[in-house]
Amino acid sequence: MTPAAPDLSILALIAQATIPVQLVMLTLIGISLASWTVIFQKLSLLRRAQKDADAFEGEFWDSRDLNALYENVRRRGGAEGLGQVFAAGMGEYLRGRQQGIADNDLLVSNAQRAMRATSQREHDLLERGLPFLATAGSVSPYIGLFGTVWGIMHAFTGLANIQQATLASVAPGIAEALIATAIGLFAAIPAVVGYNRFATQIDRLSIQTDVFCEEFVNLLARRG
């Protein structure tokens, strides 16, 4: 009687895997789910941040009265990105004038420092979650490789109790071990792609903010 062929479906191999390999797979699946959560959150956040930055920059250059624009931003409340940076700089500039500071260079310098601090806080907010993507992208393949090595080692160790080793006897163990590597790559690739894309978008937004700050500072200097 011919022995039944082993079930080599993915679900069967995962169910038959050793406990350490299953723990590796569960860890990688958890990392993958967390990575996708961060990716979707970043997609929404950066899309909104770029849209708001472009919209405010257009509003800024269309405005002929910086004081009126500042009041509009304050009335709207909850300003983010360029709007928050502008409000910080303009607010510091106006407070200095109300305090009787006559040196316009000092006023502009104070406004520039306020904008730099606000810009850094906005930048840190946009970068939140990126270190996790970087870690997931770099560590996941090695976690999967650990599961693969453990599974293959277990498969070959089991051959010690078999008098005549065949490919059919060792194939299930090797196959279930390789699934760990596959899951590791599945977790790592989206994280790496997401990290690179988001880092580029954040750098672009930072450059746009820096250019805006320089142009705004020039306007304040000429205003004095």
Token representation of residue 121 = 């806080």
Looking at residue 165, what is its pLDDT? 55
Question: Distance between alpha carbon 198 and the CA centroid of its chain, in Å?
Answer: 6
Per domain, the residue ranges of the chain are 18-223
Looking at residue 66, what is its pLDDT? 87
Looking at residue 198, what is its pLDDT? 95
Residue 175 has pLDDT above 60, yes or no: yes
Distances in Å between the Cα of 221 and the Cα atoms of 11, 83, 103, 106, 213 are 68, 20, 11, 10, 12
Residue 1 pLDDT level (bands cut at 50, 70, 90): very low
Looking at residue 206, what is its pLDDT? 93
Looking at residue 190, what is its pLDDT? 95
Mean pLDDT of the chain: 85
Residue 202 pLDDT level (bands cut at 50, 70, 90): very high
Neighbours of 110 (CB within 10 A): 16
Residue 153 has pLDDT above 60, yes or no: yes
**End-to-end Cα distance, the chain:** 98
Residue-by-residue DSSP string for 80-131 = -THHHHHHHHHHHHHHHHHTT---HHHHHHHHHHHHHHHHHHHHHHHHTTHH
Residue 171 has pLDDT above 60, yes or no: yes
Looking at residue 173, what is its pLDDT? 67
Residue 2 pLDDT level (bands cut at 50, 70, 90): very low
Average pLDDT of the residues in 149-162:
72
Global pTM reads 0.82
Residue written as tokens 């293959």? 152
**Residues 52-108 pLDDT 10s:** 999 999 988 888 888 888 888 888 765 678 889 999 999 999 999 888 888 888 999
Burial of 222 (0-12, 13-18, 19+ CB in 10 A): exposed
Looking at residue 74, what is its pLDDT? 84
Residue written as tokens 């730099």? 116
**Residues 115-147 pLDDT 10s:** 999 999 999 999 999 999 999 999 999 999 888
Helix 82-98 and helix 104-127, axial crossing angle in degrees, nearest 10: 150
Of the two residues 5 and 109, the one the predictor is more confident about is: 109
Amino acid at position 178, single letter:
L
Average pLDDT of the residues in 25-30:
91
